Structure 1
């Protein structure tokens, strides 16, 4: 029996040893434990309990980096300087501590850099955590943009029409260079500036849908990066991010397992059923740009009393959800006005401004530019989708400025919306006006706009990750 017991022990140790080594190398730790889509606790009691857990976890993981003293000769010591990664992790550790203090104390110091704006109110899951985290991002976030690759597939992207946010972010980081560093060793995150939309545009002919050429191109680019730099291999891609607003964005990242499983994928097509992971991936809004003109909120937007239409939608029968919506409601009701296409004498924007609620069903993919369009118009968005992670859900409380209706309840749209009391609708409308700032696209980017909200979401995912020097 003794021999069997010893052999069992040796077998057990042999099995867990690689796991222990790898976990010390790459550890994704959620310093704010949260239910799905919530990075910040909603009340101080929860925050206090979580901070205890995280302090214990920090001690176990050795997340706090300190200087190491090694003896050189008797009575003489040499101070080993921190590596670039250790300095980055030290800064992130300080940021986590500052956010916890803000949550526990329910207070923050207003930054003069951000002017007079301070995020307050019910549209935020935790305004104290968000504001402190945003200030820490402004202080510490440094992005290294890889120089490898040439136009038009790399360092470029679509800056017009439905996939425009992809190109706008790539261009912002390449041209205006907010938070960008030339030193990769001090970078908090590394950016892969390859455009999936451009790959599809230049490498595909119409009617060709095989994802293999797209996946090979992305995999080849990762191979070039990993061969030329140590940073991808160091973290298995976990401190790297890629952005795509194309419907094929999730598919384009599948060939490289590290890119799919570890990297921060910033996607419009944030579909959980297609592998989107809200704990490490980022959902961004799909914003339609016409003639490269940046959309702006309509101010002043009509008040609730000047919106006679209960609900409105106009759009083609793209995908199964829209087909259900059109079959049920197209041309059938004066209060729920649903069109497949508007006539020449009808104006889309005017309908948005006259409507209390704007229906935002998913099309072929889950994201819809109708959500930002509704918000710009002061119209309460009604999202109708399956498996969709709404943009910036870790910070924004969508239930306070939108209505979410399951696909199965499309026949009940009118009943659901009429069942919302007028006082509740007015609160939703008021909050839509407040949240407009976070969906506005500026070039160059401005504090708390959609560009900075995207960077903040990336920053949060990096905060949830601890890397250790090998």
Structure 2
């Protein structure tokens, strides 16, 4: 994206912010978000290290993010003025090769050793596990990991790491209580139970977009089982279908957790109580007026779940960048010797 186009978009931010300010209850800190976001656009600088090999990513989200980053004004060729440093490596790169890459950065540049990697970030959709190698320990413990949602258990550090918003592809009459778009090979017990309840529509992914829009528009709730396909969250929000996140443990890796109040746009329920418990929670937590409020805020939130080829204000790319901006004040760990 050219600098001219970028700052043309920047000039539109005032009008965009005014339209969003009416729904500020969606955001955790609206009085901070909007001015801080604009400050980020002007000030934020990132230095990209040269990757060890030609990059290859396992998901379109990773690839799209890297392309947008490369073409953005955030990138600087002067590492001395950078707030954060991006460590690029392919999704299929072995842990040994990643460790070697970090070792080379440590020897060639002074920036890693200043913070032991705390002002660095990397992209890994699957997330990195814990290894014994010094370089991998520092990368996992200190650097910001951007991964895909939902994350693999044990490969996400709350309050440090962040997740990409899923790559998402008015008046309404609700025909179904809940819609579940299920395309996993192995169905869960809850999905099998929901299939027998006429209040819920259970099917594999519709063959065309208009069918999906019709399903979303005719359902009060859209159920997403944690660990299954969650790519439709953005679309559900956009078309007024309240997301219901089904999981049996606290959710600490939701996209944009630093920015939006998920409790205001989604409902959380466990799976162990079956359909009866799901219905009880939905009836208790989402009366008519409350559901209308969730849908209204959900439509506002949906703009943050859009991945554009040419980034637009407040879209997924910029909201990921904003979360990185919030983490730019790196913790400088004391040096220690590794045996």
Q: Cα offset for 1:350? A: 2.3
* Map of 2:258 onto structure 1: 394
Q: Cα offset for 1:395? A: 1.1
* Counterparts of residues 3-402 of structure 1 (less than 5 Å): 112=11, 114-118=13-17, 119-120=20-21, 121-151=24-54, 154=55, 156-157=56-57, 163-174=59-70, 176-196=71-91, 199=92, 214-245=94-125, 248-251=126-129, 256-269=136-149, 271=151, 273-287=153-167, 295=169, 302-304=170-172, 306-317=173-184, 323-330=188-195, 332-339=196-203, 347-363=211-227, 368-385=230-247, 386-388=249-251, 389-402=253-266
Aligned-CA RMSD value: 2.8
CA deviations 1:280-318 (Å, max 9, x no partner) are: 111222215xxxxxx3xxxxxx524x2221100021345
Determine the C-alpha separation between the residues in 2 that align with 1:165 and 1:253.
26
Q: Which runs of 4+ in 1 moved over 4 A?
A: 252-255, 269-273, 340-344, 466-470
Q: Which 5+ residue runs of structure 2 have no aligned equivalent?
A: 1-9
Q: Cα offset for 1:264? A: 0.4
Determine the C-alpha separation between the residues in 1 that align with 2:266 and 2:185.
23
CA deviations 1:247-284 (Å, max 9, x no partner) are: x3233888500011000001114548414222211122
Determine the C-alpha separation between the residues in 1 that align with 2:185 and 2:140.
27
CA deviations 1:23-66 (Å, max 9, x no partner) are: xxxxxxxxxxxxxxxxxxxxxxxxxxxxxxxxxxxxxxxxxxxx
Q: Which 5+ residue runs of structure 1 have no aligned equivalent?
A: 1-110, 200-212, 289-294, 296-301
Structure with the greater alpha carbon radius of gyration: 1
Q: How many residues end up aligned between the 2 structures?
A: 315
Q: Cα offset for 1:235? A: 1.3
Any conservation in 1 of the 2:174–2:219 contact (CA below 8 Å)?
A: yes
Distance 1:377 1:454, change over 3 A: same
Q: Cα offset for 1:357? A: 0.9
Q: Cα offset for 1:167? A: 0.8
Q: Cα offset for 1:113? A: 5.3
CA deviations 1:68-111 (Å, max 9, x no partner) are: xxxxxxxxxxxxxxxxxxxxxxxxxxxxxxxxxxxxxxxxxxx8
Any conservation in 1 of the 2:127–2:156 contact (CA below 8 Å)?
A: no
State TM-score, norm by structure 1: 0.61
